[in-house]
């Protein structure tokens, strides 16, 4: 039973209060990254309407959620992404995770519709390596770089570059990625991500402790973020975060995020596809209890006991 059964906040049985929604708005994508987990894609092709998305966020925001991250699949594949962003209530933070191949020409309008910032997946600055990871078409790499420039120019701040570390593939590119972020004078942050093995990609796993030691040895300053207790390093003026979801009890203990699948199911845990709660046809009256039900099903995937 939810310890907060009678009040209106979304606190789970482990004392974690949900403050953030990660909404997948499509499972479709124009890339085929070798490691992609597709946000728990379970084969459905149906996608939530603008109204369904805005209703879920509206109700959740009345229950304490103040951040929304829009993701996918590739969210820019939806032509109504601007409508989705514009339909959201006033929140502390609205962000988008994208491969940015279709961001050029839309960054400014997304900003005007209420988007605060973007995370762009950029696993390598070497076009051949980039293509071998993402299986994208020939012009995509240049378009991604253009999209990043335009996002910065449009004031989508900060732009975070998501780089999934892959052994023997892109590890060596970490320093040039740091150099790349420095060009943007603090408007671009590098976010290194530990590979999660959803697709038999264990051979590409890097030693995360070694990465952490390298960052620590080069950093002039280290702080800890509230979200998942991620560490933030400053290295010669470049800001770097390291996201470590694998076997990490701290990651789970400090998770305040609920996921929503593209077909409208609340997903209590990133690392598990159990306990989905269907809200695709829920009315505004039904949504509060369904949100509470999903939150009551949240169990830390990695625990100390």
Residues that bind ligand SF4 (CB under 6 A): 29, 31-33, 36, 38, 72-74, 99, 121, 134
Among 27, 71, 95, 124, binds ligand SAM (CB under 6 A): 71
The answer to whether 27 touches 72, Cβ cutoff 8 Å, is: yes
Nearer to ligand SAM, 160 or 292 (CB): 160
Among 55, 121, 154, 256, binds ligand SAM (CB under 6 A): 121
Q: Nearest to residue 164, comparing CAs of 256, 34, 54, 75? A: 34
Q: Quick one: what does residue 87 bind among ligand SF4, ligand SAM, none, with the CB cut-off 5 to 8 Å set by partner type?
A: none
Measure the N-to-C terminal CA separation of the chain; round to a whole number of Å.
20
CA angle 97, 101, 103 (to 5 degrees): 65
- Min CB(245)–ligand SF4 separation in Å: 15
Calpha distance 219→198 (Å, rounded)? 31
Among 27, 95, 162, 254, binds ligand SAM (CB under 6 A): 162
Question: What percent of the residues of the chain are helix, what percent strand, and what percent coil, each to the nearest 5?
Answer: 30, 20, 50
* 99 binding ligand SAM? (CB under 6 A): yes
For tokens 């120019």, the residue is 153
- Min CB(131)–ligand SAM separation in Å: 15
Q: Which residues pair with 93 in a beta bridge?
A: 67
CA dihedral 101, 102, 107, 108 (to 10 degrees): 140
Nearer to ligand SAM, 63 or 189 (CB): 189
How many beta carbons lie within 10 A of that of residue 237, not counting itself?
11
* 37 binding ligand SAM? (CB under 6 A): yes
- Min CB(197)–ligand SAM separation in Å: 7
Q: Quick one: what does residue 32 bind among ligand SAM, ligand SF4, none, with the CB cut-off 5 to 8 Å set by partner type?
A: ligand SF4
* 40 binding ligand SAM? (CB under 6 A): no
* 36 binding ligand SAM? (CB under 6 A): yes
Q: Which residues pair with 94 in a beta bridge?
A: 68
Contact footprint for ligand SAM (CB under 6 A): 29, 35-39, 71-72, 74, 97-99, 121, 162, 164, 193, 195-196, 198
């Amino acid at each position: 039973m939810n310890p907060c059964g009678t009040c209106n906040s979304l606190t789970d049985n482990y004392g974690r209060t949900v403050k953030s929604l990660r909404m997948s708005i499509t499972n479709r994508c124009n890339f085929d990254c070798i490691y992609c987990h597709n946000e728990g894609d379970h084969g459905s092709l149906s996608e939530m309407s603008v109204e369904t998305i805005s209703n879920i966020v509206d109700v959740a925001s009345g229950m304490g959620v103040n951040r929304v991250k829009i993701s996918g699949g590739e969210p820019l594949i939806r032509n109504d992404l601007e409508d989705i962003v514009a339909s959201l209530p006033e929140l502390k933070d609205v962000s988008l995770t994208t491969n940015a191949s279709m961001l050029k020409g839309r960054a400014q309008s997304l900003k005007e519709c209420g988007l605060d910032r973007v995370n762009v997946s950029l696993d390598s600055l070497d076009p051949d390596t980039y293509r071998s990871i993402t299986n994208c078409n020939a012009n995509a790499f240049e378009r991604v770089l253009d999209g990043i420039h335009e996002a910065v120019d449009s004031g989508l701040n900060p732009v975070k570059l998501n780089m999934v570390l892959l052994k023997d593939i892109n590890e060596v590119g970490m320093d040039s990625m740091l150099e790349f972020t420095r060009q943007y004078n603090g408007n671009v942050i590098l976010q290194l991500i530990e590979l999660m093995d959803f697709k038999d990609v264990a051979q590409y796993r890097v030693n995360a402790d070694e990465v952490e030691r390298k960052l620590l040895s080069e950093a002039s300053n280290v702080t800890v973020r509230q979200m998942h207790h991620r560490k933030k390093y400053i290295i010669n003026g470049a800001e770097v975060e390291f996201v470590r979801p694998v076997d990490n009890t701290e990651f789970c203990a400090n998770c305040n995020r609920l996921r929503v699948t593209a077909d409208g199911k609340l997903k209590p845990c990133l690392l598990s596809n159990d306990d989905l709660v269907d809200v695709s046809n829920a009315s505004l009256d039904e949504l509060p209890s369904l949100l509470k039900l999903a939150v009551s099903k949240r169990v830390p995937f990695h625990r100390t006991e």
